């Protein structure tokens, strides 16, 4: 899988359009995820972590989150399904450093992160819904790894292909990724032809009738 080519040529909206056309109409998030470290696109395979808020003393803090980052494979994207909680910043500099050492491509957090300046200096891609300086100890923890998780109503399965960019996050189920990617590359080519025709004076209605792309 050439993640670099996908990152260069495709974007979340065109993938979402293709999935829509195939009947997969709930594959993109609607909540706002911010590219906090300034890297505006992230592509890779889902490495899922399920988080829970907690209100008692944790006798084994960080256990599963450390396992998650240490066992990442090259091209993995850590998915932190924390239900949008802002109880703490659950991903920061040290986890990012460990994840990068394992080949992790970046992280998507449905919740808060911290150490943003440090992760920006690292050039580590981080998409999250909030920032928070609090440490996760005794506030939040990973309760399961490599399980199906749901973020903003969208299902993320381990190994699914995920793209995050400025428009949002879209997930391609692994079973259909080859078909979806081929169709997405073809749609981009058609969009380019349509855009060039409109730039050269073709009316939008005519362009749509000609190329079938909007």
Q: Which of 76, 33, 8 is nearest to 164 (CA)?
A: 33
Classify 113 as helix, strand or coil. strand
Do 84 and 131 reside in the same domain of the chain?
A: yes
Number of domain units in the chain: 2
- The string of pLDDT tens digits covering residues 93-140 is 999 999 999 999 999 999 999 999 999 999 999 999 999 999 999 999
Q: With 70 as the cut, is the pLDDT of residue 8 above it?
A: yes
**Residue pair 36/132 in contact by the 8 Å Cβ criterion:** no
* Predicted local confidence at residue 194, as pLDDT: 61
Do 206 and 115 reside in the same domain of the chain?
A: no
158 band by pLDDT with thresholds 50, 70 and 90: very high
What is the DSSP secondary structure assignment for residue 97, as one 8-state letter? H
Do 195 and 141 reside in the same domain of the chain?
A: no
- Rounded to an integer, what distance in angstroms lies between the CA atom of residue 213 and that of residue 18? 12
* Predicted local confidence at residue 189, as pLDDT: 84
- Rounded to an integer, what distance in angstroms lies between the CA atom of residue 105 and that of residue 161? 12
* Predicted local confidence at residue 214, as pLDDT: 58
Do 144 and 186 reside in the same domain of the chain?
A: no
* Predicted local confidence at residue 185, as pLDDT: 94
Structural domain containing residue 204: 180-211
Classify 211 as helix, strand or coil. helix
Do 105 and 185 reside in the same domain of the chain?
A: no
* Predicted local confidence at residue 190, as pLDDT: 77
Do 169 and 204 reside in the same domain of the chain?
A: no
Do 80 and 163 reside in the same domain of the chain?
A: yes
57 band by pLDDT with thresholds 50, 70 and 90: very high
């Amino acid at each position: 899988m050439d993640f670099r080519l996908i990152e260069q040529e495709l974007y979340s909206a065109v993938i979402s359009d293709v999935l829509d056309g195939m009947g997969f109409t709930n594959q993109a998030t609607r909540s706002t995820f911010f590219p906090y470290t300034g890297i505006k696109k992230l592509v890779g395979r889902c490495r899922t972590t399920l988080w829970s808020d907690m209100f008692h003393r944790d006798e084994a803090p960080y256990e599963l989150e450390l396992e998650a980052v240490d066992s990442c494979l090259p091209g993995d994207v850590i998915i932190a399904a924390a239900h949008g909680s802002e109880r703490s910043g659950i991903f920061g500099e040290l986890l990012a450093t460990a994840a990068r050492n394992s080949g992790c491509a970046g992280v998507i957090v449905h919740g808060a992160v911290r150490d943003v300046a440090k992760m920006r200096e690292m050039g580590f891609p981080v998409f999250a819904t909030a920032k928070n300086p609090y440490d996760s100890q005794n506030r939040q923890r990973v309760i399961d790894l490599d399980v199906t998780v749901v973020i903003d109503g969208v299902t993320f399965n381990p190994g699914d292909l995920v793209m995050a960019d400025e428009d949002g996050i879209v997930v391609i189920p692994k079973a259909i990724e080859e078909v979806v990617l081929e169709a997405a590359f073809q749609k981009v080519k058609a969009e380019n032809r349509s855009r060039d025709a409109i730039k050269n004076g073709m009316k939008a209605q005519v362009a749509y009738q000609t190329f079938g792309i909007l």
